[in-house]
A = this chain, B = another copy of it.
Amino acid sequence: MEKFVVTPWEVKGKIDYDKLIKKFGTQKIDKKLKNRIQKHTKELHVMLRRDVYYSHRDLDKVLDDYEKGKGFFLYTGRGPSGKMHIGHLLPFVFTKWLQQKFKVNVYIEITDDEKFLVKENVKWEEIKKFAEENILDIAAVGFDRKRTFIFKDSEYIKNIYPLVVKIAKKINFSTVKAVFGFKNQTNIGMIFFPALQIVPTMFEKKRALIPAAIDQDPYWRVQRDIAEKFSYEKAACIHSKMLPALTGLDEKMSSSKPHTAIFLDEDEKSIRKKIYKYAFSGGQATVELHRKLGGNPEIDVSFQWLKFFFEPDDKKLKKIEEDYKTGKLLTGELKEILIEKVSKFLQKFQENREKAKNYVDDYLYHGKLARKMWNTVYE
C-alpha cells in the first residue's frame, strides 16, 4: 500500500523521501559526494548542506567529466500553468548557483505545450501569458546571460522537431503507460510530450545534469533507456525534496490554493498575513504551555522553510531550533523571523525582476548561447 503518490502530474500524501529513493532506484547524495562537490565549489549551497537536494543519478559521473575537462551542462524547466511561487523558484536559484560555480551552460525549457495539453479548460492565450510572466521570473534569478538559453517549446520546436521525432520513434505506448501511468483516455499530445522533455538532454554531446524535484524523475528514466541509442549521454539528475505548503508538511504548494503558497509578486503585508494565518505551527496551544513544553520544529512549516533555504547560517538555524524546542522562542516570534527573511528575499527579487525586463531577451534570443541555439537545428 502506497500512502503517497509522486508523478509529474500528481503529488499526494506525505512523501517518504527515503522510500522514493528505493522506489525510483536512485542514490543518496552522501557525505563523500558532497565533499567532492565542495572541492570545486569551495562552499556548499544550503540546499545541499541540508539535504534538500538529497538524491541523484550519476552525479559522480558528472564530476568525473568535469574533472577530466569534458564538462557537462545544466538543464531544467518550467510548466507555465500559472503564477510562480517560492517553491517553483528555489530550483532555479540552486541551478544558478551550480552555473556560477562550474561555469556551464544552462538550458531552461518552458513547456507551454504540455501545460496546455494537461490542463482542462485552459486557453492557449492564458498559457502564453503565463509563459511570458514566468520567463521574467526566471530571468530575475540572474543566470549568466552568455551561458543561458530559455526557450518555449512552441517556438523552439522548429529547431528540434527532427530530433524530437527520432526520440519519439524509440518510445512506445507500453513504455509511457508504465512510466507515466498514461491510459487509453490520455490525449495523444500528452503521449507524445515526453519526447519534448527529453530532447534538451541532447543539446550538447556532454552529460546533462538536471536539478529538479523528484516528481520529474520518470522522464529521465525514459531518457536513460534510450539516450545511448543515439550516441548521447544518459542524463544525470539531482532530486530535491519539495518545499512544503504553508498549510503543512503533508501538502504541496498549489497555485490553485493560494493560501498554501507565497507567490513571487507578494508584498510584506501579504506575506505577513499569510504566514500568520496559514503557516502550520509546531507550537503549543497557549504561550504558557509553549514555554513549558516547547515546540516541535519537525512539523513547523516556518522552521522548515528556514531550514530549506531562508536561514542559510547553520549556527543561527541551530539556535532557532533549540530555542523553539525549549519554548524560549514563541510561534509568533518564529513566524516573524521567516516573514522578515521571505519579505527581504522577495523585495530584492522583485527589484531584480524589474531590471530583468531589460535583458530577458538575452536569454531568449540575443545572448551568446541563445544566438548559437537559434542557429542550430537538431536532427
Contact = CB atoms under 8 A, between A and B. Distances in A.
Chain A, interface size category, equals 35 or more
A172 B185 CA distance: 5
A168 B191 CA distance: 9
A2 interface: no
Number of copies: 2
A181 to B, nearest CB: 13
B168 A187 contact: yes
B189 A168 contact: yes
B158 A155 contact: yes
A165 to B, nearest CB: 5
A124 B162 contact: yes
Given A124-B379, A155-B158, A187 B166 contact: no
B184 A174 contact: yes
A31 interface: no
Contact of A187 (B155, B171, B185): B171
Interface string A57-85: 00000000000000000000000000000
Interface string A315-349: 00000000000000000000000000000000000
B124 A168 contact: no
Contacts of A177: 184
Interface of A: 113, 116-117, 124, 153-155, 157-158, 161-162, 165-166, 168-174, 176-177, 182-189, 191-192, 194-195, 379
